[in-house]
Amino acid sequence: MEYPSTDFYLKFKVIYNKEGNFIDYVLQYISDAFYDAVKIEPRRLLGKKFSDIVVDYSDKLYLKEVYFSMLPNKTLKFDMYIDELNRWYLINIFTDKGNDEDLVVAYYADVTDIRNCSEKELVSDGIENEITDLKNKARQYYRDKLTGLYNKNFFEEELSRLDTKRQLPISIIMADINGLKLINDAFGHSMGDRALIKSAEIMKDSLRNEDIISRVGGDEFIIFLPRTEEEVAHDIIDRIKQKCESSSLDYIKISISMGAATKTDKNEDIKKILKKAEDRMYFKKLKESKEAKTAMISFLKSRLEIITYETKSHYERLKYLTMMVAEELKLSIYEKEELRLLCEFHDIGKIGISKTILQKEGALNSEEWEDVKRHSEIGYYIAKEFRDVNSIDELILIHHERWDGKGYPGLLKKEGIPIVARIFAIADAYDVMVNERPYKNIMTKEEALNEIREQSGKQFDPYIADLFIQLIEKEKKVV
């Protein structure tokens, strides 16, 4: 196949530092057809570092993608459509050894005619699939697989390439997602992955074309802002914050802590600027992480009232019933506070259970029941993340244990179950029986007490069960 006259190529010299590490390229040669094809004077580019050219002409010739993709001694191909030329190009990057110098050639082959062929012809020739495959392979080294952003490999190379006087002032934003561990532990890693993807989208949509964002850790991102004052960096942070406020992921609100620092003098160490941005981010995180968790627990409780029967009135009834028993047993102030918290947060883990299951009318099947049983473990992980609740994290985990050891998660039985959990189990069961639930018929007071009497020594502590029955029977009305 003959290529049209709009083909052209660029030849770069590879630059290494004293230690022999690659740092950049210098444009050494431009083919004659270049000006006719793109209408850029070669003299404006020759002799310049590729990192500088990318900043000045990032929207030209797909240069930014070429720059980020090519490596010394590596060969790759990919296609792209250049809007300003209204042409398709196959870009072939390869190494050319000459005069004991490492040279890299970027050859732009005009393949517009091929791209305009029918789909049938492309498939039969195998050209489309080959180009796509090569393009994907070229990007793998520098791309984070989950978010599609650049990765740590890319950032570390860019840090040295773009740390030049020409790029000053250079601003760096360090970003860290708040509560990702909580999301992973409570709702599963698939939800954590979705939170990462959503966060990446929010940050990317808030940046300018010339800005570079990389995911450098599990929940950490770095944003590189060439030729950007610190004031502008803070404007970008504010923009990201605003997008977080207006964006949510199901029942999870995205929260990102960020810190910025700026290099204004060529003699400043860029790594110290990076450390300063990181320190500022962690300072913000001390406050914002707590605020994010507090907001999340309030949001989860509100949502629970919508998708379950865990209402404020249910909590108030439980508090009344449990305190009645606690007073009779002369429990300590500390144990009473545990009971109060357990009444309020015992089913917080149901937020991680399907709404369809929670609102199902009639009995659950075995698979659905196993799913529901997960809520105590989910609640345990949620409680561990909140200082005001983490004192009862283990009580949340075991609040469905049984006196006979047949409860879940099946860790404790009889007196091994804390007395707070034993009291709560009876009060909770009673309240569920005498109040409407989609999966149970409502019982009378007498029927509910008979059920507790029947389960005494099985599901419930026999002594507390008897005491509870006596106390309720003294009541003049159904609670």
How would residue 122 be classed by pLDDT, with cut points 50, 70 and 90?
very low
How would residue 304 be classed by pLDDT, with cut points 50, 70 and 90?
confident
pTM: 0.64
- Say if 3 falls within a structural domain: no
- Given a cut of 70, whether residue 351 has pLDDT beyond it is yes
Query: What pLDDT, on the 0 to 100 scale, is given for residue 188?
Result: 79
Which residues constitute the domain of residue 407?
Answer: 308-474
Domain C-terminal end among 275, 301, 327: 301
Contact 42, 56 (CB under 8 A): no
Residues 194 and 257 in one domain: yes
Tell me the CA distances in angstroms from 419 to 203, 273, 333, 373, 456, one per residue in order. Answer: 49, 55, 14, 21, 15
Range of weakest confidence among 130-139, 268-277, 434-443, 467-476: 130-139
Contact 182, 293 (CB under 8 A): yes
Question: Where would I find the H helices in 78-179?
Answer: 112-115, 119-125, 127-140, 152-161
Q: How many domains does the chain have?
A: 3
Contact 298, 312 (CB under 8 A): no
- Say if 249 falls within a structural domain: yes
**Range 191-216 average pLDDT:** 93
SS3 call for 62: coil
Range of weakest confidence among 53-57, 95-99, 194-198: 95-99
How would residue 126 be classed by pLDDT, with cut points 50, 70 and 90?
low
CATH code for position 48 = 3.30.450
Query: What pLDDT, on the 0 to 100 scale, is given for residue 116?
Result: 67
Tell me the CA distances in angstroms from 432 to 239, 436, 437, 479, one per residue in order. Answer: 47, 7, 7, 11
**Range 15-41 average pLDDT:** 84
Residues 259 and 274 in one domain: yes
Query: What pLDDT, on the 0 to 100 scale, is given for residue 460?
Result: 97
Which H or E run contains 369? helix 366-373
Q: Is the dihedral of CA 377, 257, 252, 192 positive or negative?
A: negative
What is the crossing angle of helices 445-455 and 462-474, to 10°? 160
Domain C-terminal end among 237, 270, 301: 301
- Say if 479 falls within a structural domain: no
Residues 289 and 337 in one domain: no
How would residue 342 be classed by pLDDT, with cut points 50, 70 and 90?
very high
Residues 328 and 438 in one domain: yes
Residues 121 and 269 in one domain: no
Top mean-pLDDT range of 51-60, 362-371, 398-407: 398-407
SS3 call for 64: helix
| 403-427: pLDDT as tens digits | 999 999 999 999 999 999 999 999 9
SS3 call for 111: coil
Domain C-terminal end among 115, 140, 165: 140
